[in-house]
Structure 1
Amino acid sequence: MFSKLFLLYLFIFFNTAQLISQEAVKFDVAKDSIDLVFIRLNEHLKSELKSSDARTIATAHLKLGVFCQENEVYSEAINQFNKAILLLGKDNHESLFLELVNRLGIVHLQLKNYKAAEHYFRIGLEEALLQKNKTQLAYAKSNLGTSFEKQQRYDEALKFQKESIELYSALKDAEGVSIVYENIGSVYEDLEQYQKALGYFQKSLQYHTSTTDARFANILNNLGDVYRKSKSCKEGLQYTQKALEISKILGHAHEEASSHKDLAENFECMGNYALAVTHLNEFIRIDKENKRVQNANQGRALQIIYDTKEKESQIQWLLQNSKIDRAQKAILMVSVVCFFIFILLGYTYVKKKRIQTEKETKYKQQLLQVELSKKHLEEENLQREVAVKNASLSRYSLYISQKNKMLADFALTLKNSLDRNNIDLKRKLKALIKEIDFNLSQEQEWGEFMVLFQETHPAYQNQINSKALEVLSPAEFRLSILLRLGLSSKEIASILRLTPDSVRVSRYRLRKKLPITSKEDLTAFLRSI
């Protein structure tokens, strides 16, 4: 429970510190020294540019690039280093070129551009081999191993770090060995092999020659961190407290903040949450101040670079301006004349274009009016034609109904006459009834009716079939047509030769197959199609 609360506290304070660090920065830290250093370096570069010695100019660019790198103006640092390399040329195999490519690799490492860093460190490795410079070769291998570590390519990282140790050992460079041992310890720490990491950090401490510098404090912090991760919190506490003491003596704020952060985690591991919170607050305070100072220095450096470049640009502009003043006046006069000519031509063109556009618009309006009149006439003719055909359909339906009724009545009368005993009469009447029934069964009149309906309502059949929930039978389709024409159930019964009850059943079945509610009128729905 306490651990969860502490982790929540950590999260809140870390985010708070990050937000605070983004506030406006006051440039009050080492303001004068940054100004003076940059001005001195820039003046040195300008004086060297007057010479023809590429190496001295490249060295000036290197110094200015280092200044930008230290103040975290990385883009300008890369620019200065690349300018120096271009001056030297890629085929110039000397120590200055080697230092420049290593610097570029370190800058990209700081920017977390690990592939770019690897590229420059490989160039440094090849250059060190060509120059047979074992110190620089060991340095390049160590840097290359670090770039692999950042890319989580741990096997390659360990390979190059161990090769670097062999070279430093042969050179009897204790500090180089110490640095590489610390790098190897960092790899094993990433791999969570804490015992191995502990061993290498201890070796790094053993080979480190000074006990009062920032690296010594950093190694102690690493040892304390590994002990804590190994759950040996008390042992780790001793190293971290020692690191804090040294960083305070040195006034090294970054290591001091790191020590407070590690102490907070150590005390949290030991269950002493009060001290953990105390050190966490101290870490946040120092880290906030570090970021303020860092942002101040970076901002000041950027401002100085910008101001210097702006002043140089203004000077160049003034010098150039004095040489071309008369030419500019002449160009200005020509430009004024050309401008007025252009205005005149433009006015003439616009006026002609406007007149032409007005004529075209008027003509188009006339054409549109004629087209609209034509459309209105066509629409009126179509409406009259539909009205005439609807009337014809109604008359035709009534005619079929009356004809069918007459024939049905006639057939009924004849059937009743069959009850008489006259044999010859019966024979003739049977033939006549057969002929009447045959005429009643003919589909010719219905076919003519359907042709007329399709001409009047060409899309009706496709629309009702697409809306129907089930496939309509031919009889149901005919019923829907007669209902759409507004015929009564009695008239429909006569046309389809059905009883009124059968018509009601058919209407019900048709309704079930259509997407309408019980309250919706069937005839109105069919007319909407």
Structure 2
Amino acid sequence: MNKRGLLHIVVFLSLFHICSHTSLAQGNGGFDTTLYHKKQFVNYGYSLHREDVRKGKEYFENGAQFFRKKQDTASYLFCMMALSDFEKLVGNFNGAFDILSDIEYAAYHSPDHLVQMRILGKYAELYGIYGQDSLALRYLNRSLDIAKTAGKPHQKVQPYFGFAQQYVNMQEYRQALHYLDSCYLSAPAKKRMPYVDALYGHIYTERKEYRKAGIYFRDILNHFERQKPAFIVVVYDYLADYHLAIDQPDSAMHFWQQGLRAINTMNVNMEKKPMILQKLSELHASRKQFKRAWDYMAASKEISDSLFHTQSQQNKQLFQLKGAFSATLSRMDQQIEAQQTLIQEQGEKSFRLQIGMGILLCIAIAAVVTFRIRTKMRQMALEQEKTDTILQIKNKELIVSTLQLIEKEQSIDELLGIIEEQAPERFSSLKNKLQQHDQKIWEDFHRRFTQTNSRFYEQLLKLHPSLTQNDLKHCALIKLKFDSKEMAQILGISVNSVHVSRSRIRKKLGLNRAESLGGYLEGI
């Protein structure tokens, strides 16, 4: 064969290989599956999401579909957990939890211990966001146990860092430092860990040990500004707090502005935005830049109210109830699998064994019936307990949100006092707006309290029909254990008027001096 013929064959084979490879790569719903053959396909997806949110989400959705068809369970689960992360970053915590619930059974039964550790860590983050500290710590403990028994030493870093973050949220800084030390002790190479150092710096800032904080914050931004992870918003906030603490307000303002820019461009950590805006408002107020301070405070309040409303609507279902339901489904699946195995074994045994198994089956049925009866009774008791728990948590959320509003109103009052001195011509109009907002605080509180404690007013009026509508307002606030000053703030009256109303209500309820008004109302 001559050289020209050989050349034609080589060109033909090359074109055939390229066409075949392209066909295979596009053979899964029209997307390029070669991207998922990379060892670091998960990291690539997160970097894509940082550049373009929509493309990043589509990448993992297509990846989940691809790996499910290939029956690659571990990779499929990593894709789904990434999608859960994306929901959490935009504040849809309920959507993030739903995704984890859908894959929970498969993840817990996966032979890949990294999958098990990852989903437990995700659950811990979500429970931590909602203040369910004991549940968050429980999931972190399970993740750490897996890392100690099945993983390599460096794989303990992830749960250790999770513990540190959780204890920082709980303001237990000594415990947090202990777990951060464990991160470095577990790392195989003595390289710098920027996430860990950022948390070290924040803790030492909170403890007013600024020299140590400065050491950990040194050159910290080099890593985060190169990678652009969502955590960069937290780092900017930490750096701003540090520079404000060491009397460098210009640098603090710069880093808070950088944090806002990262939130807006990357669409992540939305819950941080009202907090940063409030800090900027306080900084401008300290510089007597009252117009800017007012604008930032108003923006913080608007976003905070919007975000709280979003959380109350999207995330109102309690995580612990969902977790209990998922566990029940898992137990039912296991029972079904055990029964199917038992039936197969019966068909393979002799007639005499079948008779014995029939007797055992009857006993099993009787046991199942008995178990279901007992389970039903336990469920009835559990439902009542869940109802009480939901009521307590909703009341707690109501108290926290109302106290946050009171704190913000107090900040606004301080600003108004300064404005009255510095710009009296604007004081009257701003004061009128504030009075209108005070009425809105009560209306919002009354509406949410009625939704949560629908039978409280009904039962109270049934026992004491002489109570007026004004008395009922006071009773609701006393039931939730607000003090006199907080009640005066919510109702827009003086503290002395609150004391007079409490005395009048005690007489109407027929309580003597030894009986607690709050304890009586709490029991209704």
Normalised by the length of structure 1, the TM-score is: 0.40
Larger radius of gyration: 1
Relative CO higher for 1 or 2, CA cutoff 8 Å, sep ≥ 6? 1
